Structure 1
Amino acid sequence: MIIELHLLQSFPVSNLNRDDVGQPKTATFGGQLRGRISSQSLKRSARLLLQRHGLEPDETGIRTKRLITKTATLLGERGRDEAEAVAVASSGLLALGFGLDKRRSALTEYLLFVGTDAVNLLADYCDREWDRLVADAAARAKAAEKKKTDNTKSDTADKQSKIKPDKKTRDEAKRILDASRVVDVALFGRMIADNKDFNVSAASQVAHAISTHAVVNEYDYYTAVDDLQPDDETGADMIGTVDFNAACYYRYANLHLNQLRDNLHGDTDLMARATRAWLHAFIDAIPSGKQNSMAALTPPETLLVVVRDTGAWNLANAFLQPVDTNDLMVTSTRALFGHFNRLRRFYGDDNLRAVIAAAVTTDLEGLADHEIAPSRHELVSRTLAATKV
């Protein structure tokens, strides 16, 4: 079973998601330049809201390269020497089969997506294996010093960064990285290239948001004056530019409930709360880029939820021909539902369990009365009811 969420959301002057030169991200679609918000940005914005919508802190995860330093701090609080604990935690992660950053050995080789209890579990492992890991850390330090002294190229460090653990140690690693109760890992997946046993297939797919109309990025020229500038001096002490645009975006995400159930090992209570949190979090998700200076905090105005047994329809092609009108939200809403209803008539709706739509300012055309919800609360309630077999 699949839940699809389609949103139309208009943002005023904003730079929610920047590219490498600081401009709002864009994409060419239908032969026209569109505003774009990356799926990564939207997923992170949603992830940060999951606890607000009913999940406990230990049911969400963290994405970090700093597992070693956090573990060392905890070991220090337990009475271990914190400097030594950094080396021990590094050896611990190496023993578990994970690489270290080649330039900063106190960081992991890549971001790890783990549950919030991973630090405690890794600290417990390091405590139990302390003497062995201390010896390993000393051997690694000696090899590194020898390499530096000899000033010769050696692959010793690289070999040490890739250790193949035995079965007992692999089981320990699985316990530390267990994600069976980590909702955001279950939703958005986890890929560890050299430790495929820890990969998790994402239950939720998220599209890049694109504007329903053509956009042209603009820029704001600003100046700042020193408050303590002498009265006989004039001029600005800082000048610069900030890029922005204003756009009405089409947003799309879906949630595969069977995959979510598998990822959460069949925990039906957690699955129900995760589904509810996912719905609310994606409705509320707004990227944080330049919000302090632009405050583009506008909620979605048109919402469409489709609950289906199989298949999935991204409705972005409703805007393949860009909307060209002063009333962007009304026209975009009509285009969205017109496209959806045409697809529905052509492909049939035998696999649709429910269609629920709501809009703040626009009349919804082409839907039956029972498919229109008067509020967000009603839309979410009907959606959750439709997912129950």
Structure 2
Amino acid sequence: MQLHLLTHYPPSNLNRDDTGRPKTALVGDATRLRVSSQSQKRAWRTSETFAVDLAGCLGRRTRQLGKEVFKTLCAGGVSDKLAREWAKDIAKQFGKLKSDKKPVNDSDLEIEQLAHLSPEEWEATFALAQALIARKEGPTEAELRLLTQPRRAVDIAMFGRMLADSPEFNMEAAVQVAHAITVHRAAVEDDFFSAVDDLNRNDTTGAGHIGERGYGAGLFYLYIAINRELLRHNLGGDEALAERALAALVQAVTRVSPTGMQNSFASRAYAGYVLAEKGDQQPRSLSQAFLKPVHDQGEGMFTQAVTALETRCANFDAVYGACAQARYTLNVETPTGTLAELIRFVAE
């Protein structure tokens, strides 16, 4: 399954670089605005859509597991010393612990790298903590084997996980997400702003605060490749859960925006165009359609971008043979297609 999306964002700073400015990329000798795949996946994974539609089937990504176990043990009456020892034994099953010689705020209980725990692993971890509280004895080696192959965590099944110290419990991502780029040349601009101190009534000329932030606007192309068979395998062969997962994913990618600086820019947007393809062929992005930046030549940039995308798709078919067995198109400009039908096409 492949998804090709065009989404317009007004002035915004959806995904910042290390200087706080919107990320960019040089494509076809032209600078484009860029939104990283990590930013997009984070927005989808933590969205209300996922929380509601996939309740009970999402993992937790954290370095704080040891601290949470420690709090649980202490609340159950275990001494500070034993609770810390047992919490470390449990947390280090999911990754190497920080080796702080002088720990601050229980930092010695933190895992060095983010660990993505499945619902089964999270439940087993705190069931073990309750068992330790009840019997007042430490965990056995067998009880500490908390890592499993996730079978109920949709986000892990989709986007994978990597455990450096326990590679046998890694999971290959069934959903591959490209960095979104503008289909046209784009520049990062600067917004100078000031704020008035409401209580400083005597100063009518100055400002209580001044600042500057970067922003940009554009029509973004996003490409997603989904290995449906791998997704179903990652979910333990549960076809119904795989369909729920795909339905939630389509809802999220078409309607959920990256969260960067939303309070400052309110850059919420729905996808204006989606081309969905399914088949057993080798997947391929259509980003090549935008090596030459799109220019508004009278019919509108959005329409030209759609034409460039569909022309490139037809050209690939002409050269390589049919690159998909079935396709479905949603276009808000015409309008063509519906979200409900798009979900049905992708999920079933």
Identify whether the pair has TM-score above 0.5, normalized to the shorter chain: yes
- Selected match of 1:377 from 327, 336, 340: 340
Q: Does 1:41 align with 2:14?
A: no
Given the superposition, is the C-alpha separation of residues 251 and 97 from structure 1 closer, same or farther in structure 2, using an over 3 Å criterion? closer
Checking the alignment, whether the CA contact within 8 Å between 2:124 and 2:146 is kept in structure 1 is: no
Checking the alignment, whether the CA contact within 8 Å between 1:75 and 1:123 is kept in structure 2 is: no
Deviation at 1:380, TM superposition (A): 1.8
Q: TM-score, normalised by structure 1?
A: 0.81
- How many residues end up aligned between the 2 structures? 336
Q: Please name the residue that 1:54 is paired with.
A: 53
SS in 1 for 2:333: coil
Q: Supply the AA of the counterpart residue of 2:319.
A: F
Deviation at 1:296, TM superposition (A): 0.7
Q: Supply the AA of the counterpart residue of 2:20.
A: G
Within 5 A, what are the aligned runs for 1:166-315?
168=142, 172-175=145-148, 178-232=149-203, 234-315=205-286
Deviation at 1:325, TM superposition (A): 1.6
Q: Supply the AA of the counterpart residue of 1:71.
A: V
Checking the alignment, whether the CA contact within 8 Å between 1:210 and 1:251 is kept in structure 2 is: yes
- Selected match of 2:325 from 315, 330, 353: 353
Checking the alignment, whether the CA contact within 8 Å between 2:244 and 2:347 is kept in structure 1 is: no
Gaps of 5+ in 1: 134-164, 364-372
Q: Please name the residue that 2:104 is paired with.
A: none
Distance in 1, matches of 2:150 and 2:347, equals 24
Q: Please name the residue that 1:13 is paired with.
A: 11
Gaps of 5+ in 2: 101-106
Distance in 2, matches of 1:305 and 1:52, equals 24
Given the superposition, is the C-alpha separation of residues 212 and 249 from structure 1 closer, same or farther in structure 2, using an over 3 Å criterion? same
Q: Supply the AA of the counterpart residue of 2:66.
A: I
Q: Cα deviations across residues 1-58 of structure 1 (Å, max 9, x unaligned)? A: xx111100011100000000011000001111111000000111111235356212x2
Distance in 1, matches of 2:218 and 2:342, equals 25
Deviation at 1:382, TM superposition (A): 2.8
Q: Supply the AA of the counterpart residue of 1:302.
A: Y
Distance in 2, matches of 1:87 and 1:330, equals 62
Distance in 1, matches of 2:201 and 2:81, equals 50
Distance in 1, matches of 2:202 and 2:321, equals 74
Deviation at 1:208, TM superposition (A): 0.2
Please give the root-mean-square deviation of Cα atoms over the aligned residues, in Å: 2.2
Q: Please name the residue that 1:28 is paired with.
A: 26
Q: Supply the AA of the counterpart residue of 1:379.
A: L
Within 5 A, what are the aligned runs for 1:153-164?
none
Checking the alignment, whether the CA contact within 8 Å between 2:86 and 2:138 is kept in structure 1 is: no
Q: Cα deviations across residues 81-126 of structure 1 (Å, max 9, x unaligned)? A: 46752442112233x3731022321211210001245344223334
Q: Does 1:98 align with 2:85?
A: no
Checking the alignment, whether the CA contact within 8 Å between 2:44 and 2:50 is kept in structure 1 is: no
Checking the alignment, whether the CA contact within 8 Å between 2:194 and 2:208 is kept in structure 1 is: yes
Distance in 1, matches of 2:339 and 2:46, equals 20
Distance in 2, matches of 1:285 and 1:84, equals 44
SS in 1 for 2:181: strand
Given the superposition, is the C-alpha separation of residues 43 and 302 from structure 1 closer, same or farther in structure 2, using an over 3 Å criterion? same
SS in 2 for 1:33: strand
- Selected match of 2:116 from 113, 116, 123: 113
Q: Cα deviations across residues 199-229 of structure 1 (Å, max 9, x unaligned)? A: 0000000000011011111010000110001
Q: Supply the AA of the counterpart residue of 1:248.
A: L
Given the superposition, is the C-alpha separation of residues 5 and 329 from structure 1 closer, same or farther in structure 2, using an over 3 Å criterion? same
Q: Which has the higher mean CA deviation after the structures are superposed, 352-361 or 73-82?
A: 73-82
Q: Supply the AA of the counterpart residue of 1:242.
A: R
Given the superposition, is the C-alpha separation of residues 30 and 255 from structure 1 closer, same or farther in structure 2, using an over 3 Å criterion? same
Checking the alignment, whether the CA contact within 8 Å between 1:14 and 1:290 is kept in structure 2 is: yes
Q: Please name the residue that 2:103 is paired with.
A: none
SS in 1 for 2:110: coil
Distance in 2, matches of 1:232 and 1:193, equals 58
Given the superposition, is the C-alpha separation of residues 110 and 339 from structure 1 closer, same or farther in structure 2, using an over 3 Å criterion? same
Deviation at 1:311, TM superposition (A): 1.0
SS in 2 for 1:90: helix
Distance in 2, matches of 1:120 and 1:335, equals 49
Checking the alignment, whether the CA contact within 8 Å between 2:121 and 2:146 is kept in structure 1 is: no
Q: Does 1:67 align with 2:68?
A: no
Q: Give runs of ≥4 in structure 1 deviating > 3 Å.
A: 76-84, 116-120, 126-133
Structure exhibiting the larger radius of gyration computed from Cα positions: 1
Q: Supply the AA of the counterpart residue of 2:99.
A: K
Q: Cα deviations across residues 280-312 of structure 1 (Å, max 9, x unaligned)? A: 122223111111010011211111100111310
Checking the alignment, whether the CA contact within 8 Å between 1:333 and 1:362 is kept in structure 2 is: no
Q: Supply the AA of the counterpart residue of 2:310.
A: F
Given the superposition, is the C-alpha separation of residues 329 and 222 from structure 1 closer, same or farther in structure 2, using an over 3 Å criterion? same
